Amino acid sequence: MTSIFLRSLVYNVLFYCLLIFWLIVAIPTFVMRKSAIMAVARLWSRQSTWLLRVICNVRVEFRGLDKIPKGALVVASKHQSMWETFALLQVLEQPLYILKRELTRIPFFGWYLIKAGMISVDRSAGGRALLKMVRQASEEVRNGRQLIIFPEGTRRPPGAPPDYKPGVAQLYASCRTNCLPIALNSGLFWPRRTFMRYPGTLVVEFLDLLPPGLPRDEFLKRISAVIEEATRRLVEAGQQEQAQLFDRAKKS
């Protein structure tokens, strides 16, 4: 455990140093096209994932990449960790996030979010702000972007009971496009509310598309069923691998 602690500490220091480095290097993108800042963000995401493997022995495997269609898309992802909030940048052409307005007020980081065309929401403004957010998201998706949403609204630890919010069904209905479900087991390796990073194989699995036009209740039922079933399988496999790794470490 001492080795894991030290590796986690080193990784976190380098992770934020790398973030600060790219925040500075990316300053010229303010006067460039949106694609420039997105290119920088993808590079930072790839480098952060590479460091995770080299320092913490966390290998990342993306499965089902061939299921990602071109153009407009709603992406509904399981949310166990901060990791997927930046890692999905690597595999989507024009990713779009919905985020709380407070993030856009962070110097440089927030300005880049605005430059990248992310949608901010003032959660204290009530229903009117939510309706505006849905309209903005629908318009951006119709322009060919991929809207990334976390249907449970917040990070949930592996094994926690699912808690899918009806808002994802509203966004799906408004965007009128395919929905790509994502299952993962990131919470085993990058747990929430701790800086510890545990070794193993972090898997992100892209599942079969759900077509547009499903009734909201049916959509919510289907999206939760397919994501939870696949996530359970990935978490069980990840836990078995971790147990084997810890057993080897004790014997060595």
Instruction: Convert the pLDDT of each residue in 177-193 to its tens digit.
Output: 999 999 999 999 999 98
Within a domain: 21:
no
d(CA 57, CA 24): 28
Q: Say yes or no to pLDDT of 98 above 90.
A: no
Which residues constitute the domain of residue 180? 59-251
Whole-number pLDDT of residue 124: 66
Whole-number pLDDT of residue 212: 95
Whole-number pLDDT of residue 112: 92
Q: 38 Cβ partners below 8 Å, 6+ apart? A: 89, 94, 95, 116
Within a domain: 16:
no
Within a domain: 127:
yes
Within a domain: 36:
no
Within a domain: 72:
yes
SS3 120: strand
Calculate the CA 195 to chain-centre distance.
Answer: 18
Instruction: pLDDT band for 126, please (50, 70, 90 cuts).
Output: low
Calculate the CA 157 to chain-centre distance.
Answer: 14
Token pair belonging to 126: 């009530």
- Of the candidates 36, 88, 35, 82, the residue with the CA atom closest to the CA atom of residue 204: 88
Whole-number pLDDT of residue 51: 97
Number of domains in the chain: 1
Cα torsion through 26, 31, 34, 35, rounded to 10: -60
Within a domain: 45:
no
Q: 149 Cβ partners below 8 Å, 6+ apart? A: 74, 75, 76, 77, 98, 168, 171
**Mean of all residue pLDDT scores within the chain:** 92
Whole-number pLDDT of residue 227: 98
Within a domain: 19:
no
Within a domain: 247:
yes
Which percentage of the chain shows pLDDT scores above 90? 79
SS3 202: strand
Whole-number pLDDT of residue 127: 66
CB atoms within 10 A of CB 229: 11
Mean pLDDT for the stretch of residues 110-127: 82
Q: Summarize pLDDT for 159-179 with one digit per residue, the tens.
A: 999 999 988 999 999 999 999
Q: What is the CATH number of the domain that holds 120?
A: 3.40.1130.10
